[in-house]
Amino acid sequence: MNGLLSSIDSPADLRRLARPQLRPLADELREFLVQSVARTGGHFSSNLGTVELTVALHYVFDTPHDRLVWDVGHQTYPHKILTGRRERMHTLRQLGGISGFPVRSESEYDAFGTAHSSTSISAALGMALAAQAKGERRRAVAVIGDGAMTAGMAFEALNNAGVTKAPLLVVLNDNDMSISPPVGALNRYLAQLMSGRFYAAARSVGRQVLSVAPPLLEFARRFEEHAKGMVVPATLFEKFGFNYIGPIDGHDLESLVPTLENIRRLLDDGAGPQFLHVVTKKGQGYKLAEADPITYHGPGKFDPQVGVVPPAQPPKPTFSAVFGQWLCDMAERDKRLIGITPAMREGSGMVEFHRRFPDRYYDVGIAEQHAVTFAAGLACEGLKPVVAIYSTFLQRAYDQAIHDVALQNLPVVFALDRAGIVGADGPTHCGAYDIPFLRCIPNVAIACPSDEAECYQLLTTAYEQSHPVAVRYPRGAGVGAALPREPQALPYGRGEVRRRGRGVAILAFGTLLHPALQAAEALGATVANMRWAKPLDRDLVLALARDHEALVTVEEGAIAGGAGAAVMELLAAEGVVRPVLPLGLPDRFIEHGDPALLLARLGLDAAGIERSVRDRFGAHLVARPVLEVVHPAA
């Protein structure tokens, strides 16, 4: 790193630079970013695309006094580097290190915590109107991507903002990409806005006039009207009550800075909400990422000279890949199957399904609520929808799951990926709550496969039911259990005893069965693979309670309201008095970091489970050899 970047410890330093210094600074920043993310892994192509925008926003606006809200926040690495966290970038997304998203407690420049998309306009509007209410002179800026813009919540916010005089700027960072190629009518509309004569005309006129315009509201207004009148009818965003400016080149600091300066004046003159459409390239400046922004959306570590290299040996299939395989196999057998993803085709393992069954594949954009109600509509007509959705993103569609699916008892399968610890993304993405929030909904069943084969089979069981069923599985690979040759159901609502011991019985829900089995070796305990958090295998729970002095439940989900709570409710309802130790995620948000390390810290690895059981139930443990091992783990 040479001179410029190392001298920037805050945006105040940046604002001391002369305008011609911004271009070399941006180049240094991009180079630093490439080297840094290559060492840590993390979101890459989106950050390469926001380098100039970040420099320009901090240069023109008075951050942190002016509020800058980044939608999703996966593109905030340049912002982190310029706001005093350059020296901590090597700790990005690691245990104890800085987050990959904006976090209010991490920096005063992180005006709002984000990671789930499409919240920025609402939050920035709240901040802008709060400033007005308190008589403070402050602007608020939301930066939102074209993918994030597809969510209903973004439009709810536009709808509200457009009838206010809020000092709010919405910057649409349009790189014509979500994680995958963008979908839907909005994308088509944005492409139209950028195409042909309008883009060329608006850009050249905008550059010429916006950069030299006197800071007079009326003049700026007249120019805007004139330019638009000449070229296109009012844009959608104007219909929503915003002053629309753009599209402009989001990598051209010579356009960005003067345009933002003029917008800042408009805000200060009380012109109300402004909408700036900037065009950027995902992966800008790193050729491999420009060519393949999907691979470089969130890569692991890589050599920046070489790029991302596929592993020499094919890795163990992830649970997402197992789901993708099952989806294709089942789609071949049943023409009624429809696969739905809210903008997570790659992460959910649906690339192959999309390729083979394009007419039965729906990427609905970042629209979890719509995805669930859309599935409900399909199910009403006798089709068999499978909604592949991350546990954390289903939180968005809770009412739709209750009101549209469960209340009408519709056979929708929820393939709940990323259930449990997710690792580097941290608390915003942790799949901690799905068992508690689904368990209390009538008609909904929840399966918790312990390995890949069981995942495949339980998806089949779920698909055969005539009511909603969620199958929850974690990020990454499991123990590597070989898949059955074809879809074959496991019994609905039934668990199994995997190891018979004495004194203490461990009831495992999901993949933590395997550390539980290891712990049980040392403890001489019984272990049951419960498979279903709902319905509980009542007979199995009661038999285990009868035959043991104490029970332990283990799950990779919140203890509060989780599967262990279900076991305790059953025992209480049956009047069975047995001590129960519930192990799982505690009542706090789980930080980012390596998943194995986090599980160990939470006492959810084999050693931790053994330790907790000894601490609590040492007296009940029987120091005798194991009586019987049933179905040894694969």
Ligand X SMILES: CC(=O)[C@@H](O)[C@H](O)COP(=O)(O)O
What does the binding site for ligand TPP look like in residue numbers (CB under 6 A)?
Answer: 46, 72, 74-75, 115-117, 145-148, 175, 177-179, 282, 343, 366, 368, 393, 396
Element (H, E) at 375: helix 368-380
Minimum CB separation from ligand TPP for residue 198, in Å? Answer: 21
Q: What's the rounded Cα separation, in Å, for the pair 471 and 461?
A: 10
**Cα pseudo-dihedral 76, 82, 84, 87, rounded to 10:** 80
Of residues 56, 140, 177, 267, which one binds Mg ion by CB under 5 A? 177
Q: Any known ligand binding at 45?
A: no
Q: Which residues pair with 243 in a beta bridge?
A: 274
Minimum CB separation from ligand X for residue 476, in Å? Answer: 9
Q: Any known ligand binding at 146?
A: yes
Q: Does 562 bind Mg ion (CB under 5 A)?
A: no
Asked if 353 and 328 touch (Cβ cutoff 8 Å), the reply is yes
Cis preceding linkage at 535, omega within 30: yes
In this complex, which beta carbon is closest to Mg ion, that of residue 145 or of residue 501? 145
Q: Any known ligand binding at 175?
A: yes
Of residues 107, 150, 175, 373, which one binds Mg ion by CB under 5 A? 175
For 336, how many CA atoms within 13 A lie in the half-sphere containing its CB? Answer: 14
Q: Any known ligand binding at 320?
A: no
Cβ burial, residue 623 (10 Å; 0-12/13-18/19+): exposed
Minimum CB separation from ligand TPP for residue 298, in Å? Answer: 9
CB-closest chain residue to ligand X: 347
316 catalytic per annotation: no
3-state helix, strand, coil in the chain (%, to 5): 45, 15, 40
Per partner kind, with CB cut-offs from 5 to 8 A, the member of ligand X, Mg ion, ligand TPP, none near residue 366 is ligand TPP
Q: Any known ligand binding at 159?
A: no
282 catalytic per annotation: yes
Q: Any known ligand binding at 58?
A: no
368 catalytic per annotation: yes
Minimum CB separation from ligand X for residue 240, in Å? Answer: 26
Q: Any known ligand binding at 117?
A: yes
Cβ burial, residue 134 (10 Å; 0-12/13-18/19+): exposed
Per partner kind, with CB cut-offs from 5 to 8 A, the member of Mg ion, ligand TPP, ligand X, none near residue 393 is ligand TPP
Q: 3-class DSSP state for residue 387?
A: strand
Radius of gyration of the chain (CA): 27
Three-state SS sequence of 103-155:
CCCCCCCCCCCCCCCCCHHHHHHHHHHHHHHHCCCCCEEEEEECCHHHCHHHH
Q: Does 110 bind Mg ion (CB under 5 A)?
A: no
Per partner kind, with CB cut-offs from 5 to 8 A, the member of ligand X, Mg ion, ligand TPP, none near residue 46 is ligand TPP
Asked if 505 and 470 touch (Cβ cutoff 8 Å), the reply is no
* Catalytic residue, candidates 67, 281, 282, 439: 282
In this complex, which beta carbon is closest to ligand TPP, that of residue 79 or of residue 531? 79
Element (H, E) at 6: helix 3-6
Per partner kind, with CB cut-offs from 5 to 8 A, the member of ligand X, ligand TPP, Mg ion, none near residue 340 is none
Q: What's the rounded Cα separation, in Å, for the pair 587 and 559?
A: 7
Q: What's the rounded Cα separation, in Å, for the pair 271 and 557?
A: 48
Q: Which residues form the interface with ligand X (CB under 6 A)? A: 72, 74, 179, 298, 347, 418, 422, 425, 475
* Catalytic residue, candidates 30, 396, 439, 472: 396
In this complex, which beta carbon is closest to ligand TPP, that of residue 151 or of residue 599? 151
> Interface with Mg ion by CB under 5 A: which range of 137-145, 590-598, 607-615, 622-630?
137-145
Q: Does 146 bind Mg ion (CB under 5 A)?
A: yes
User: DSSP of 432-491, one letter per residue?
Assistant: -SHHHHHHTSTT-EEE--SSHHHHHHHHHHHHHSSS-EEEE--SSB-S-PPPPSS--PPP
CB-closest chain residue to Mg ion: 145
Q: Any known ligand binding at 147?
A: yes
Annotated binding site for Mg(2+): 146, 175
Annotated binding site: 74, 115-117, 146-148, 175, 286, 368
What residues are annotated to the active site?
282, 368, 396
